[in-house]
């Protein structure tokens, strides 16, 4: 074995003094070397098998800003339970929450946790629902964990099983937060121990990076050792700037569609209900137009429809009596005030409407859009309030449903990498027939991608289109999820740099 350098010898000595195992920070302290010198010495010793590096991962948990309040005052369900017991054992959920000083938003939260923990129950009394809590219960594991934390940081792996489950539960409730930590340690090997003993009998030479003229003139060059460099060791990882992998996927999807002869359509995120709904023959009292399915703007709440005067007239007649479409319409009194309301675009089909309304629309013609859409959906692993759709139409009097199915199959197989597809009859107010696309990938399963169909005359004729229009709107977020075998849609917009960096460039 070649002679050890001065820094390597000092690190081995520091390791022996630390019982054979230590962190780089401790080695720097004991050896008196700079952090960079310690890192170089560890790299050299590791490559020669004299030491080995160990990485121990742990999860730190601590109270969030909201959780800090509960450490002091108790969990919301405990606060409410106390109030109810003090008030005779029963109160309406709203009244109980108000008496604790909590926000009214806590009513469903507290009610849910009281009943789930079996501290209380809901009963109908005198035409109103009340929370019944007959007695205060002993402190549960969630509260034990909050007491244990008491404004400190704990390691989740060191908790007993029952408190580990509580930690997971409280993290989901945003009462606790967690973060991953990695502890790096260095351990001397048997070969390293022998090398340390060998160097202890002889003083290591001073290491230098290069020889100077003074060293040569004075003869000091004979008493120093040139620092060795391991040219085969890995260089540090570098992370140059590049597109987010999902943004790259969207760009590739656009390029594929353009290559197939489609023309891209763009439009505003804030849309008229007229464009988003009315032009698609969606009645104004349709359930999908309720506040729980659309984001309505508060200020300004309405826009000016005068730029589409003639179109508004035809759409109004179509809704009320069918006009010239051969339909009987929806048989209700159409409201232009409702049509003028402003919303956040809820589906990409609004851009298909804008394409058909354009003065530059061509027949035959093919148009597509990758549209950011907004719906007040509950967040879970398959739904977001803000998501992307790939939307397309083909205007051609000579095409039929079979042509549409071919386009959808191409999407699923070439863009999402699906192994097989299937089609299921569906219903939309604006297409007939309507088809739902489902795709399967081995090891991933079946996924519903979205709807498609042929626009009804009630949609196309009021917009001045007399040819057949094939249309589809697919969740391109889900296409990407299948392509990358992602099971949680929230991962697409995650700030997890490790996941982003590990995605392959395509």
- Which CATH number fits the domain that encloses residue 374? 3.30.930.10
Q: In what order do the strands lie in the sheet with 263-264?
A: 263-264, 365-374, 386-395, 469-474, 445-455, 431-441, 420-428
> What domain count does the chain have?
3
Same domain, 203 and 164: no
Residue linked to tokens 């967690």: 178
* Domain finish residue from 169, 197, 226: 226
Same domain, 438 and 295: yes
Contact assessment for residue 115 and residue 121, using Cβ atoms and an 8 Å cutoff: yes
Torsion of Cα atoms, 446 then 449 then 451 then 453, to 10°: -80
Asked whether the bond before 300 is cis by omega within 30 degrees of 0, the reply is yes
**Distance, CA of 121 to chain centre:** 36
- Label the pairing between strands 342-344 and 270-272: antiparallel
Helix (H) or strand (E) holding 341: none
The answer for residues whose C-beta is within 8 angstroms of residue 383's C-beta and 6 or more apart is 377, 489
Dist. CA 234–CA 379, nearest whole Å: 42
Residue linked to tokens 């959780």: 67
What is the pLDDT confidence band of residue 263, given thresholds at 50, 70 and 90? very high
Report the CATH number at residue 160. Answer: 1.10.10.10
Same domain, 211 and 145: no
Same domain, 41 and 101: no
pLDDT tens readout for residues 65-124: 888 989 889 999 999 999 999 998 889 989 999 999 888 888 888 888 898 888 988 888
Dist. CA 175–CA 165, nearest whole Å: 14
The token duo for 276 is: 């988003």
Can you give the pLDDT at residue 410? 85
Establish if 207 belongs to a structural domain.
yes
Establish if 159 belongs to a structural domain.
yes
Residue numbers of the domain that contains 216: 6-50+189-226
Same domain, 304 and 410: yes
| 416 has pLDDT over 80 | no
Same domain, 116 and 136: yes
Q: Taking all residues of the chain, what is their mean pLDDT, rounded to a whole number?
A: 87
Same domain, 193 and 260: no
Same domain, 103 and 168: yes
Same domain, 198 and 334: no
Establish if 371 belongs to a structural domain.
yes
Dist. CA 50–CA 195, nearest whole Å: 8
Establish if 241 belongs to a structural domain.
no
The DSSP output letter for 156 is: G
User: Average pLDDT of 135-155?
Assistant: 89
Same domain, 166 and 221: no
b/e code 406-429 from CB counts within 10 Å (16+ = b): ebbbebbeebbebeebeeeebebb
Can you give the pLDDT at residue 496? 78
Going from the C-alpha of 64 to that of each of 48, 279, 490, the distances in angstroms are: 45, 47, 21
Dist. CA 384–CA 382, nearest whole Å: 7
What is the pLDDT confidence band of residue 3, given thresholds at 50, 70 and 90? low
Same domain, 258 and 290: yes
Can you give the pLDDT at residue 1? 45
Q: In what order do the strands lie in the sheet with 128-132?
A: 90-91, 128-132, 121-125
């Amino acid at each position: 074995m070649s002679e050890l350098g001065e820094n390597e010898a000092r690190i081995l000595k520091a390791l022996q003094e630390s019982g054979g195992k230590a962190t780089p920070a401790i080695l720097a302290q004991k050896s008196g070397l700079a952090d960079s010198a310690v890192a170089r010495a560890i790299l050299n010793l590791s490559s020669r098998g004299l030491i080995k590096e160990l990485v121990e991962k742990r999860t730190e948990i601590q109270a969030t800003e909201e959780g800090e309040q509960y450490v002091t005052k108790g969990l919301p369900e405990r606060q409410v339970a106390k109030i109810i017991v003090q008030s005779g054992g029963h109160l309406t959920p709203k009244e109980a929450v108000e008496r604790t000083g909590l926000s009214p938003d806590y009513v469903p939260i507290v009610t849910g946790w009281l009943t789930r923990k079996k501290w209380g129950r809901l009963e109908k009394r005198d035409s109103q629902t009340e929370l019944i809590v007959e007695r205060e219960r002993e402190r549960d594991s969630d509260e034990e964990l909050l007491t244990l934390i008491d404004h400190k940081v704990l390691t989740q792996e060191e908790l007993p099983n029952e408190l580990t489950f509580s930690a997971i539960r409280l993290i989901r409730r945003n009462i606790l937060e967690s973060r991953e930590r990695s502890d790096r340690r260095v351990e001397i090997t048997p070969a390293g121990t022998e090398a340390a003993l060998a160097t202890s009998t002889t003083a290591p030479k001073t290491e230098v990076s290069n020889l100077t003229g003074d060293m040569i003139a004075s003869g000091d060059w004979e008493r120093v050792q040139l620092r060795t460099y391991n040219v085969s060791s890995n260089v540090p990882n570098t992370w140059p700037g590049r597109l987010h992998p999902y943004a790259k996927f969207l760009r590739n999807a656009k390029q594929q569609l353009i290559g197939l002869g489609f023309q891209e359509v763009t439009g505003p995120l804030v849309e008229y209900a007229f464009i988003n709904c009315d032009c698609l023959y969606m009645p104004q009292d349709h359930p999908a137009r309720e506040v729980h399915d659309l984001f309505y703007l508060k200020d300004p709440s309405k826009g000016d429809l005068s730029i589409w005067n003639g179109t508004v007239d035809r759409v109004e007649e179509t809704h009320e009596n069918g006009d010239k479409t051969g339909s009987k319409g929806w048989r209700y009194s159409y409201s232009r005030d409702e049509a003028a309301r402003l919303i956040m675009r809820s589906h990409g089909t609004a851009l298909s409407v804008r394409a058909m309304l354009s003065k530059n629309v061509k027949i035959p013609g093919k148009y597509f859009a990758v549209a950011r859409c907004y719906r007040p959906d509950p967040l879970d692993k398959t739904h977001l309030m803000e998501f992307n759709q790939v939307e397309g139409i083909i205007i051609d009097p000579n095409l039929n449903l079979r042509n549409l199915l071919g386009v959808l199959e191409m999407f699923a197989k070439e863009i999402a990498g699906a192994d097989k597809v299937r089609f299921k009859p569906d219903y939309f107010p604006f297409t007939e027939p309507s088809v739902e696309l489902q795709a399967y990938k081995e090891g991933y399963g079946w996924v519903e991608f979205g709807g498609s169909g042929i626009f009804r005359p009630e949609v196309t004729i009021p917009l001045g289109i007399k040819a057949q229009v094939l249309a589809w709107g697919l969740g391109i977020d889900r296409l990407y999820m299948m392509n990358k075998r992602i099971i949680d849609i929230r991962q697409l917009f995650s700030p997890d740099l490790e996941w982003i960096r590990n995605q392959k460039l395509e």
